[in-house]
């Protein structure tokens, strides 16, 4: 299984990559912002099963990335999970309305990420 982690924090990308690897993902791609992630998707031959996306990033934020994915027929079937510090109810509603399937608020535990993956039916192995 393939995942994409989109976050401007190298440390956060590393943490999420480790969690996803332990959850059974054999490939985890990384991007530092939404535009880099779109460029990566355009250059790839296949879509990731899921993208974990931060909200606050330079160049292109996560909400814009989610909207761009939903407006592109080639990316619409990709599952999107926001993983962000944005905790206001209005922000959560905006992200879900834009097309995110799930929402995790930082800080989080590995179990919280795995639980959301299970809810979405996207787990390679049981952790």
* Beta-sheet strands, E only, within 1-127: 2-6, 27-31, 50-53, 79-84, 102-105
pLDDT in tens, 30-83: 999 999 999 999 998 889 999 999 999 999 999 999 999 999 999 989 999 999
User: Residue 22: CB partners within 8 Å, gap ≥ 6?
Assistant: 110, 127
Burial string for 80-95 (b: 16+ CB within 10 Å, else e) reads: bbbbbebeeeebbebb
- CATH number of the domain to which 111 belongs: 3.40.50.2300
Inside any domain, residue 97:
yes
Question: Could you tell me the end-to-end alpha-carbon distance of the chain, in angstroms, rounded to an integer?
Answer: 15
Domain count, the chain: 1
Domain range for 46 is 13-120
Whole-prediction pTM: 0.93
Inside any domain, residue 91:
yes
Inside any domain, residue 1:
no
Inside any domain, residue 22:
yes
Question: What is the reported pLDDT for 46?
Answer: 87
Inside any domain, residue 41:
yes
Inside any domain, residue 46:
yes
């Amino acid at each position: 299984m393939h995942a994409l982690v989109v976050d401007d924090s190298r440390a956060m990308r590393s943490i999420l990559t480790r969690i996803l690897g332990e959850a059974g993902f054999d490939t985890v791609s990384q991007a530092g912002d939404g535009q880099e992630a779109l460029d990566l998707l355009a250059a790839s031959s296949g879509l990731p099963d899921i993208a974990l996306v931060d909200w606050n990033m330079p160049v292109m934020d996560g909400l814009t990335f989610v909207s761009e994915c939903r407006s592109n027929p080639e990316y619409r079937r990709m599952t999107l999970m926001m993983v962000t510090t944005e905790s206001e109810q209005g922000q959560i509603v905006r992200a879900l309305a834009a097309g995110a399937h799930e929402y995790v608020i930082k800080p989080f535990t590995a179990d919280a990420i795995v639980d959301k993956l299970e809810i979405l039916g996207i787990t390679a192995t049981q952790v």
